[in-house]
Structure formats: C-alpha cells, structure tokens
Amino acid sequence: MKEPVVEVETTIAADRRTVWRAMTRTNTAMFPGAEIETDWVVGRPIRFTGKWEGEPFDDRGEVTSFKENEELSFTHWSATAGEFDRPESYHRLRYRLAPLGGKTRVTLSQYAEGKDTEIDPRTKNEFAHTWKATLEALKKTAETMDQ
C-alpha cells in the first residue's frame, strides 16, 4: 500500500460504536451536508450527494473495507475536483477508529490511488484542511448524538 498523501486525526469524546453510527448513517457525518447511498458491501458502490458551500455535488466510489467499529475505506471521485471520472481521478479514504479510554481516536488517511505523479505541497495542505474540517464535523455529530 502506498503512503498516504495526507493523514489527519482527532479524538472524539464518544465510544467507537457511536462514532461508527455517525459515520455510516444515511445523513453521514463523514461528509458534512451529504447523504450516503451504499449497502456497505466491499466491492459495491458508494455515493454521496448534497450541497457544499451552496453547490450541489454527486460524489461516488466503491467500498474497499468495512470492519464495523474499526475501519472503513472507499475510493472517492468528485466532479468538483475538476477531473474526469476515470480510474486515475479517484483517491481512497480510510477511516480508522481506535479506543482511547472511553473516547475514540479517528485517523483519516487519503491515498492517491491512480496517480503516478507527486502531489504538490499546496494541494496536500488543501486536502489536509478539508479532512480536518470533516473530522471536526464528525466529532461534533458523534459527541452530541446521544444527548
């Protein structure tokens, strides 16, 4: 497996089951403002639809791992990235959940699946910024789910 392009993490004041539910529900906290369509079977499609900054999006990919309360990964393509829907335009996102004394450490890694070229530092920083915001939304959702 290639090294991740970016990797971000956060600690969430909720157990892994609660974080997992926040990630995998239809109104997913993995992508703020998105609804998710999938059956969570490895090799099957995953689709995210919604609005981001007022603009509609329709992202897609394929589930690549599903280990309940532990790990979830999928390929991801978004038209908003400005690239055609072809294999080299996809990246893979991997969420890992680890118990941390009643809390959960969530690590989000992004891998460049089909790219052979190096991704420039500015783009990596943009990715990291986006994924940090994503984890903050997940944190906020998971920490308030059962209240």
C-beta of residue 2 within 8 angstroms of C-beta of residue 130: no
Quote the pTM value. 0.89
For the cut 80, the answer to whether the pLDDT of residue 64 exceeds it is: yes
Determine how β-strand 6-12 pairs with β-strand 91-100: unpaired
End-to-end C-alpha distance for the chain, whole angstroms: 39
For the cut 70, the answer to whether the pLDDT of residue 1 exceeds it is: no
6-144: CATH topology is Alpha-D-Glucose-1,6-Bisphosphate; Chain A, domain 4 (3.30.530)
Report pLDDT for 85.
67
pLDDT digits (tens, 9 = 90+) for 8-54: 999 999 999 999 999 999 888 888 788 999 999 999 999 999 887 78
In this prediction, residue 123 has a pLDDT band, given cuts at 50, 70 and 90, of: confident
Percent of the chain with pLDDT over 70: 89
